[in-house]
Amino acid sequence: MKIALAQQDYIIGDFEGNRAKHLQAIHQASKEGARLIVFPELSICGYPPRDFLEFDDFIRKSEESVRLIAAECKGIAAVVGAPVRNTTGKGKLLFNAALFLYEGIILGVQRKSLLPNYDIFDEYRYFEPNRQFEVVNFEGKRIALTVCEDLWNTDENPLYVERPLERLLPFSPDLVINIAASPFHDRQPEIRRKVLIENALRAGVPLVYVNHTGAQTELIFDGNSMVLDGSGKVCVQLPFFVEDFRVVDLQELPSDILGGYPDRIALIHDALVSGIKAYFQKLHLKKAILGLSGGIDSAVVLVLAAEALGKENVRAVLLPSRYSTLHSIDDAVALAKNIDVAYDIISIEEAFKAFEQTLRPVFKDLPPDLTEENIQARIRAVILMAMSNKLGYILLNTSNKSEAAVGYGTMYGDMCGGLSVLGDVYKTDVYNLAKYINREQEVIPRNILIKAPSAELRPNQKDSDSLPEYDILDPVLYEYIENRLGPQEIISKGYDAELVKRVLRLVNQNEYKRHQTPPILRVSAKAFGSGRRMPIVGKYLA
């Protein structure tokens, strides 16, 4: 049997546009002799639809799309993902389901059994878990349909009490299909492949896996759809972060192509470019603006934005103060010229003087401190937002994860923006991204990579005046945020006790700031945002 894999990107709630993608792929598959085409999880409505699922009109439109697509399945079958109503009268109103469409009807339905309710997932809020299992009989083949998480309860990762594949194996399936909406993080591709290999070996039959690509706000989907044979060999693998279409003959699977994945930093780079591009396209936005300081963070964001949106759609603004060094300005200008991006130089000195004069009657003879530093950051934000409003740009935030973790940022200042590009990238990895960008030629000036990080808000300021060096700070943050280790557990791994207590105290005390940041593109297993839900007020480790 020839099967087509449709690795696609959808817009949540764009039923007409999503339907058009389905129909185009179905017609192409039919022309290429495929008997079945497979689409990702919740492909009809887009993933994750979240509270749109609570609107009956949203469900009706989804049902109408299914009917219209089924009507086009003449001589070819399609597996699509859609919410379906729970007609049992018990439990939640919807199931998350894989629908098998053929000759104008729904020939089979397999509802999702394992509903993830951890990290960025919240499916049990909307869906009832499946408790009934069956296979679809099609052209002499018994096909077991599964939906994403239903294959993730493995020996190595036992998350649930039930294993849906075990409930399907007594039907002696000839083929297992898994439709997925599996978001990217920097370790996910390798973990996912292990999961699929284990399931293919357990079933002993070919396994077809089709995943979303593109991005939905902070969630980035890497695609990487694949076909495995019954011995667990990865025989077909679709690319990362792009839409793709492939017809595969299950009787003539190519030899094993299992190999190493792209470098982790390369994947993060491509994920961020994909995330920026999708965010702008799906909101019908075109142009981005950002403050270019001469530092590493804004440099990397500028390059990523230019790659995602085109250099003609990106504008950099240099906002020097009395504390800005000449080399920082020169470095920023050199970078803008290297990638041929438009830039402006707007001094904040007169505005800063005006604030000093205005506040002098209140501040009197109090010495300068963090207040004056924050005023400068907020002046810059006002200028950037004014240009954004007047000229039609979206402001990109350039703060990194290390800074966001410890609160090293100014609310309504450098924390402003419509999208946070590096908010899930530790500072040490920002440097690695810069080196990756420079892998073939010097795009980011070398001086930006080698100079000490500084906010340049007071004379001779360095980040290390306020924070541990990033190569010391980031490992502690990783143990606490990603690995969820408590202070004594981290200390027991050899980290300095006072350092650990200081860092964790900073993380917890600044939770309120992170509740007011723009959406953060997620590239780690534990990003700030919906996947990390911490109380603003609490005494743990305080």
Active site residue 148: yes
| Distance, CA of 258 to CA of 72 (rounded, Å) | 36
| Distance, CA of 182 to CA of 192 (rounded, Å) | 9
From 21, 41, 307, 513, the catalytic residue: 41
Find the length of the chain. 542
84, 99 Cβ separation under 8 angstroms: yes
What pairing do the DSSP bridges indicate for beta strands 77-85 and 36-38? Answer: parallel
| Distance, CA of 508 to CA of 534 (rounded, Å) | 9
364, 286 Cβ separation under 8 angstroms: no
| Distance, CA of 110 to CA of 178 (rounded, Å) | 11
What pairing do the DSSP bridges indicate for beta strands 244-249 and 234-237? Answer: unpaired
Active site residue 73: no
| Distance, CA of 16 to CA of 26 (rounded, Å) | 15
From 21, 61, 112, 513, the catalytic residue: 112
Q: How far from 39 is each of 81, 177, 203, 234, CA to CA, in Å?
A: 7, 10, 21, 19
From 45, 73, 148, 235, the catalytic residue: 148
271, 297 Cβ separation under 8 angstroms: no
Q: What are phi and psi of 293, to 5 degrees?
A: -95, -15
> Token pair of 122, please?
């919240």
184, 214 Cβ separation under 8 angstroms: no
Q: Which of 291, 121, 126, 335 is nearest to 219 (CA)?
A: 121
What pairing do the DSSP bridges indicate for beta strands 226-228 and 219-222? Answer: unpaired
3-class DSSP state of 301:
helix
The DSSP secondary structure of 219-240, one letter per residue, reads EEEEB--EEE-TTS-EEEEPPB
Q: Give the H/E segment covering residue 82.
A: strand 77-85
345, 329 Cβ separation under 8 angstroms: yes
* Residue 56: half-sphere exposure toward Cβ, Cα within 13 Å: 0
> Token pair of 171, please?
């039907």
Active site residue 112: yes
What amino acid positions are annotated as catalytic residues? Answer: 41, 112, 148
